[in-house]
Structure 1
Amino acid sequence: MRSGRQRPHTRPRRLVRAVLVALAVCATSLVPVWTGLGTGTASAAVTTPGTIVGSQSGRCVDAAAAGTANGTVVQIYDCNGTVAQQWQPRADGSVLNPNSGRCLDITGGATANGSRVQLYDCNGTGAQKWQVNSNGTVTNPQSGKCLDANGSANSSYLQIWDCGGTANQQWTVNGTGTGGTGGDFWSGIKAGWNLGNSFDATPCETCWGNPATTKAMIDQVATKFNFLRIPVTWYPHLTSGAPNYTIDPAFLGRLKQVVDWAIADGMYVDVNMHHDGGGDQWLIPSAARMPQVEPEFNAIWKQVAGYFAGYDQHLLFEAMNEPQDANGGNRYGGGTSDNWGAINTLNRDFVNDVRAVGGNDATRWLLVVPYGANAQTGANNLVVPNDSHVAVSVHTYNPWAFCSTTAPNYTTWDGSMNYLPDGDVNNANRLFSSKGIPVVWTEFGATVKPVGGGNNSDQVANFETHIASYAKQYGQKTMVWDNGSTGTGDDQFGLLNRNSVTWQWPTVVNRLSAVYS
Structure 2
Amino acid sequence: MALAALWTGPGTASAAVATPGTIVGGQSGRCVDAAAAGTANGTVVQIYDCNGTGAQQWQVRSDGSILNPASGRCLDIVSGATANGSRAQLYDCNGTGAQKWTVNAAGSITNPQSGRCLDANGQADSSYLQIWDCAGTANQKWTVNAPGGGTGDPAGPGIWSQVRAGWNLGNSFDATPCETCWGNPATTKAMIDTIATKFNFLRIPVTWYPHLTSGAPGYTVDPTFLARLKQVVDWAVADGMYVDVNMHHDGGGDQWLIPSAARLPQVRPEFNAIWKQVAGYFGGYDQHLLFEAMNEPQDANGGNRYGGGTSDNWSAINTLNQDFVNDVRAAGGSNATRWLLVVPYGANAQTGANNLVVPNDSHVAVSVHTYNPWSFCSTTAPNYTTWDGSMNYLPDGDVNNADRLFSSRGIPVVWTEFGATVKPLGGGDNAGQVADYETHIASYAKQFGQKTMVWDNNSTGLGDDQFGLLDRSTLTWQRPTIVNRLSAVYN
Scaled by the length of structure 1, the TM-score of the pair is: 0.74
Q: Paired residue for 1:61?
A: 59
Aligned-partner residue type, residue 254 of structure 1:
R
Q: Paired residue for 2:197?
A: 223
CA offsets, 1:10-68, max 9 Å, x none? xxxxxxxxxxxxxxxxxxxxxx94222799xxxxxxxxxxxx99727x975353xx325
Q: Paired residue for 2:213?
A: 239
The 8 Å contact of residues 164 and 200 in structure 2, kept in 1 or not, is answered as: yes
Question: Is 1:508 paired with 2:482?
Answer: yes
Q: Paired residue for 2:294?
A: 320
Question: Is 1:367 paired with 2:341?
Answer: yes
Question: Is 1:129 paired with 2:124?
Answer: no
The separation in 2 between residues aligned to 1:253 and 1:179, in whole angstroms, is: 32
Matching residue within 11, 16, 36 for 2:27: 36
Q: Paired residue for 1:300?
A: 274
Shift of 1:468: 0.5
The separation in 2 between residues aligned to 1:442 and 1:228, in whole angstroms, is: 10
SS at match of 1:129: strand
- Structure 1: which 5+ residue stretches go unaligned? 1-31, 40-51, 80-86, 88-94, 96-103, 144-171
Q: Paired residue for 2:368?
A: 394
Evaluate the alpha carbon distance shift between residue 454 and residue 312 of structure 1 in structure 2; reply closer, same or farther with a 3 A threshold: same
Evaluate the alpha carbon distance shift between residue 410 and residue 135 of structure 1 in structure 2; reply closer, same or farther with a 3 A threshold: farther
SS at match of 1:281: coil
Evaluate the alpha carbon distance shift between residue 126 and residue 36 of structure 1 in structure 2; reply closer, same or farther with a 3 A threshold: farther
Question: Is 1:455 paired with 2:432?
Answer: no
Aligned-partner residue type, residue 55 of structure 1:
G
The separation in 2 between residues aligned to 1:228 and 1:341, in whole angstroms, is: 30
Shift of 1:118: 1.1
Evaluate the alpha carbon distance shift between residue 284 and residue 67 of structure 1 in structure 2; reply closer, same or farther with a 3 A threshold: same
The separation in 2 between residues aligned to 1:343 and 1:180, in whole angstroms, is: 28
The separation in 2 between residues aligned to 1:111 and 1:78, in whole angstroms, is: 21
SS at match of 2:162: coil
Shift of 1:180: 10
The 8 Å contact of residues 77 and 87 in structure 2, kept in 1 or not, is answered as: no
Shift of 1:452: 1.3
The separation in 2 between residues aligned to 1:180 and 1:444, in whole angstroms, is: 32
Q: Paired residue for 1:119?
A: 100
The separation in 2 between residues aligned to 1:210 and 1:443, in whole angstroms, is: 19
Q: Paired residue for 2:239?
A: 265
Question: Is 1:211 paired with 2:192?
Answer: no
Evaluate the alpha carbon distance shift between residue 176 and residue 75 of structure 1 in structure 2; reply closer, same or farther with a 3 A threshold: closer
Shift of 1:332: 1.3
Aligned-partner residue type, residue 397 of structure 1:
Y
Question: Is 1:336 paired with 2:310?
Answer: yes
SS at match of 1:204: coil
Evaluate the alpha carbon distance shift between residue 239 and residue 135 of structure 1 in structure 2; reply closer, same or farther with a 3 A threshold: farther
The separation in 1 between residues aligned to 2:395 and 2:241, in whole angstroms, is: 27
The separation in 1 between residues aligned to 2:126 and 2:159, in whole angstroms, is: 17
Aligned-partner residue type, residue 388 of structure 2:
D
The separation in 1 between residues aligned to 2:301 and 2:478, in whole angstroms, is: 32
Scaled by the length of structure 2, the TM-score of the pair is: 0.78
The separation in 1 between residues aligned to 2:101 and 2:216, in whole angstroms, is: 66
Evaluate the alpha carbon distance shift between residue 112 and residue 34 of structure 1 in structure 2; reply closer, same or farther with a 3 A threshold: closer
SS at match of 2:485: helix
Shift of 1:113: 8.0
Matching residue within 419, 430, 450 for 2:393: 419
The 8 Å contact of residues 339 and 364 in structure 2, kept in 1 or not, is answered as: yes
The 8 Å contact of residues 185 and 473 in structure 2, kept in 1 or not, is answered as: yes
Evaluate the alpha carbon distance shift between residue 273 and residue 114 of structure 1 in structure 2; reply closer, same or farther with a 3 A threshold: closer
Q: Paired residue for 1:482?
A: 456
CA offsets, 1:111-133, max 9 Å, x none? 69886641157369697434499
SS at match of 2:180: coil
Shift of 1:108: 3.5
- Structure 2: which 5+ residue stretches go unaligned? 1-22, 31-50, 93-97, 103-109, 133-143
Q: How many residues align?
A: 418
Evaluate the alpha carbon distance shift between residue 404 and residue 293 of structure 1 in structure 2; reply closer, same or farther with a 3 A threshold: same
Question: Is 1:350 paired with 2:318?
Answer: no
Evaluate the alpha carbon distance shift between residue 247 and residue 516 of structure 1 in structure 2; reply closer, same or farther with a 3 A threshold: same
The separation in 2 between residues aligned to 1:337 and 1:115, in whole angstroms, is: 44
> RCO (CA 8 Å, sep 6+): is it higher in 1 or 2?
1
The separation in 1 between residues aligned to 2:354 and 2:441, in whole angstroms, is: 20
The separation in 2 between residues aligned to 1:134 and 1:191, in whole angstroms, is: 35
Aligned-partner residue type, residue 118 of structure 1:
Q
